[in-house]
Amino acid sequence: MDHRIGIVGAGVGGLHLALYLQKQGLQPTVITDRTPEQYPATRLMNTVAHHSVTVARENELGVNHWDDAGLIYHHHDHFFNFPGSPLIFRGRFKKPSRAVDYRIYLPALMQDFSQRGGRIEYASIQDDDIAALVDRFDLLVVSTGKGALGRMFAFRPEHSPYTQPQRLLCVGLYEGVDHGGSRADDPRGVTLSVSPGHGEMIVIPTLTFNGMQTALLMENIPGGDMADIVSLDHDADPAAFRQTILDKLEKHHPHTYNRIDTHRFGLAQPLDLLQGAVVPTVRQSAVAFDNGKLAIALGDVQSVVDPLMGQGANMASYAAFELGKAIVETTAFDARFVEQVDRARENRVLAASRWTNLMLQPPSEAMGRLIFTMAQNQALCDEFTENFNYPERQWDRLASEKRTHAWIDSLTPLAA
């Protein structure tokens, strides 16, 4: 059946869905408010790592333009800045991950879609546009939470425990940070650095406009010593901004600070900085209209997660493929269709949300045991790391203290 599909939003979820449907012989229409040519002059959008499951989907779509050994990373280093006794250990992926600046990534996929005959319309959707938009398509997919369309999807309070941001975010692309990869015995990796009581930092080697740089995603606890950097004004005084960041890193994230060439350290470009916060929320997956038409949520419209565990983009890509399969196979867009889509994608979406929300809280006794055991048990640490690809598996192990202890016990040799 030749369904008329409209996709509002050209993020990773919207574009992966559009490319998937295109590959299946459908002709979806993508509606977005930004042309490919506008991206280079845009402020940093995020810092997103694609894990191997997402890279595999890119290969399936024929849009993996960054399959280069010099771009990938192979492990997570975990650093806990415990006073007097810091802890560091490494977890390894089975297959590598990589990060590409979305100001490069998204326009490249838009061009792939267009060059294959896809239709992209450039417009900003307002409240009074919705009725005509719904009438135009058999199914409307909403993959951007901006504006009137995103507000249509009600919050699911049972899955949205927070009404305020749990972290204050300051993320930038920096030069002068060694992220490994220059030697065979020092493979490139990501660092997950924790300063108890003050927050976390994720250090991600990232391809951007001027080659490989380092994303520093600082997740700062409100009221902690790192919290004030969310309001630092780089443009007003770049030198003061730079020195403040260095001072904070030396105190709270010394493992990363020791890899910085302080003479070269600074934003790679003036627009390579994003500051703000998000409230983790899960929304209803669909809206039904009086005319019998449906709008269905995708990506951040369905679930907004804090970026701490790097799940948002990978979750959106997975959900896009599951939605795409359902669209190709269905005979009608109705309540049963929504049920089938929810059943296919909700386990991973909710697991990613719940796991991330758990990690935003002070560690429980079981989580503390897991951290210290991973430092001694490579198999446990590797499984925890590999599960960044499969958040539902991670949540199977962390959903309760009983499950976490059972997981540790299953991979910990009994004492003689």
Domain ranges for the chain, please list them: 5-44+101-162+279-359, 72-98+167-276, 365-410
- Highest-confidence range of 126-130, 143-147, 153-157, 272-276, by mean pLDDT? 272-276
DSSP state for residue 183 in the 8-state scheme: B
Q: Say which residue, 213 or 132, is predicted with more confidence.
A: 213
Which of 394, 323, 374 minimizes the C-alpha distance to 141? Answer: 323
Cβ atoms of 190 and 77 closer than 8 Å? yes
Sign of the C-alpha dihedral, residues 307, 309, 313, 315? negative
Using CA atoms, how far residue 1 sits from 141, 217, 234, 279, in Å, is 18, 44, 53, 39
Given the structure tokens 């979806």, which residue do they identify? 28
In a 10 Å sphere around its CB, with 0-12 CB exposed, 13-18 middle and 19+ buried, how is residue 343 labelled?
exposed
pLDDT digits (tens, 9 = 90+) for 242-258: 999 999 999 999 999 99
Q: Say which residue, 185 or 155, is predicted with more confidence.
A: 155
- 321 backbone dihedrals φ, ψ, rounded to 5°: -65, -40
Task: Tell me whether the CATH fold assigned to 5-44+101-162+279-359 matches the one assigned to 72-98+167-276.
Answer: no
Fold of the domain spanning 5-44+101-162+279-359: FAD/NAD(P)-binding domain (3.50.50)
Assign domain 72-98+167-276 one CATH number from 3.30.9.40, 3.40.50.2300, 3.30.70.600, 2.60.40.2480. Answer: 3.30.9.40
Is the predicted pLDDT of residue 416 greater than 60, yes or no? no
Is the predicted pLDDT of residue 389 greater than 60, yes or no? yes
